Amino acid sequence: MERQVALVTGASSGIGEQTALELLRRGFTVYGAARRADRMTPLVDAGGHAIAMDVTDDASVRAAVDRITAEQGRIDVLVNNAGYGSYGALEDVPIDEARRQFEVNVFGLARITQLVLPGMRARRSGTIVNISSIGGRIYEPLGAWYHSTKFAVEGLSDSLRVELEPHGIRVVVIQPGAIRTEWNGISRRSAVERSGATAYAAQARALVRALEAADRSSAATEPHVVAATIAKAATARRPRTRYATPFSAKFIVGLRRMLPDRVFDLVIHRVFAPTKADLAAGEAHSAEGRSSDGERVAA
């Protein structure tokens, strides 16, 4: 039996790396793509292929798809994993950074999907696995831009699923919850960089503390758990439309489905509530800001 060919984006670390390795173990020919191909040594050592690719660079994406098609003749499974989380109050985040999040998390995903689809349609088979997040179903303070991208991925995937079903192509959404990867640290740092010294400083400190607690909690899990779910979806004869993983993610998504907006707001307020120390620090930053404004006016 001919080996299926999989392309996994964002394969240099975390969920993407573990997914590429898991698909290799399951007999796939695997191409991992990331901006830094040198970080995919474990994949190459295991028998996979590494491709340098930036999902926001059209020439780079085209070259990657063309190479795989030339070498293997097809792509059977596309795992759209590349993405990142950038936090900060909407008022504080520059529009250029907001655009970049959409370029990576949404438009990059859509572009590589566009390039893979003609081959899948011609064979009337293929699976597209889009890595969303429980953040595509819930929301957090200071996460407006990140959650917007994941809500967009959810809507894009739903439309794409019914659009491609007549052509024999399956579309699956994966919704990871708290996973111990680089994502959490990057998100925390961005919240502090963008809003740690603004009127939203107290909320930024509370967010960082909540994300740190999530990373340490027993509800958090390792990337290989998500990778196993992705591989299950990629190999199922009739995969579900969505997989929330791990169990804590299923619980949170289920809770959001059941609770009215205002009630869920109360849950979010409780989880991300600033402490007295956070509020005091926030007041100090506001006072410094007012003082600086006064000095500038006086000058």
Which residues are the active-site residues? 12, 132, 146, 150
Both tokens of residue 105? 């998390």
Give the neighbor-by-neighbor strand order of the sheet with 5-9.
Answer: 49-52, 29-34, 5-9, 77-80, 126-131, 169-176, 242-245
The whole-angstrom distance between residue 82's C-alpha and the CA centroid of its chain comes to 7
